[in-house]
Amino acid sequence: MANDKHVARLKQGVDHWNAWRQENDSIEIDFIKANLSEANLAGANLTRAYLARANLREADLAGADLREAILINANLHGADLRGADLRGANFSGAHLRGANLTEADLRGAHFYGVDLRWADLSGANLAGVRFTGAQLIETNLANANLTGCHIYGISAWNLKLEGAKQRDLIITQENEPVITVDNLEVAQFIYLLLHNEKIRDVIDTITSKAVLILGRFTLERKAILDAVREELRNRKYVPILFDFDKPTSKDVTGTVETLARMARFIIADLTDPSSIPQELATIVPFLRTTPVLPLRLAGSGGYSMFEDLQRAYTWVLKTYEYQDSQSLISALPAIIAPADRMADELRSRS
């Protein structure tokens, strides 16, 4: 339990506390399980203090000196730690949900299993921090320095990383050979690839069997494209449909490009396009190993923009024109065969 004399002295004010601490620097400061909720501790000298399981919920610790402090399992929910010196502090198991740690110095701190959901660490120096098992959900890390962080077992979702310095992030356990990456959001995925054979098998299946189908899925068109999808399934492909039923945006383009890079080849129905030629014009130049097979209902007209793509990029095949869904399905094996062969050829060259 906390040393009552230390707690009483701290509650006399930060200036009084800091003066006393300067004269008694070698004394072990005991605030274990202390209730300091909403306390004004801005600028307090709490170096090497024992604050394990202390209640610091919404406490003001802005600019405080907490170097090498022990904050294991402490409650810092919503606490203000802006600009605090937290070098070497041990926050293992602590709750920092919604805490403000902007511009804080956290170099070498221990964040094992820490709850950092919705916390703000923008501009913080996190070099060498051990985040093992931490929850980083909607955490703000904009402009933070994450160099050399240990991030094995983290849960990272929807992070803000604009301007963050991400280098030499260690994704392995401390008793394993060191593997580093330079992107916090892909770290979990890379680790799964390395240690989960089933994940690798799934990715191999997707990249070798996925077929992306692009089109405008009105009621009339959807019946035809559903029939194409079903036939692809029967032939052991993995069809992925993308419906251009809404205006395009950068997000849409990015989604199409991501799916396209995963696909073995692309089937693009140009019969009733709203933006498909525009989207393809954006992504086709980057798809050097992904053939594009265009389809069009006979009599529906051509698109000069798409014809330009066919002339410029050899992986865009000749447009196949069909009379109706029945003739399209019956001819599908012969229609997709060139795209299938080209996929093998392009990948063998890469």
Q: Where are the beta strands (DSSP E) in the chain?
A: 135-137, 155-157, 169-170, 180-181, 210-215, 238-243, 265-269, 292-297, 320-322
pLDDT per residue rounded down to tens, the chain (350 residues):
889 999 999 999 999 999 999 999 999 999 999 999 999 999 999 999 999 999 999 999 999 999 999 999 999 999 999 999 999 999 999 999 999 999 999 999 999 999 999 999 999 999 999 999 999 999 999 999 999 999 999 999 999 999 999 989 999 888 887 889 888 877 877 777 776 666 666 666 666 788 888 877 677 777 777 788 888 888 888 888 776 654 444 456 777 777 887 888 999 888 866 557 777 788 888 888 889 998 888 887 666 677 788 888 889 999 899 888 888 888 988 999 999 899 888 878 76
Residue 223, judged by CB atoms within 10 A of its CB (0-12, 13-18, 19+), counts as exposed
Per-domain residue ranges of the chain: 1-195, 200-349
* CATH superfamily name and code, 200-349: Flavodoxin domain (3.40.50.360)
CATH number for the region 1-195 comes to 2.160.20.80
| Predicted structure pTM score | 0.64
- Beta carbons of 154 and 188 less than 8 angstroms apart: yes
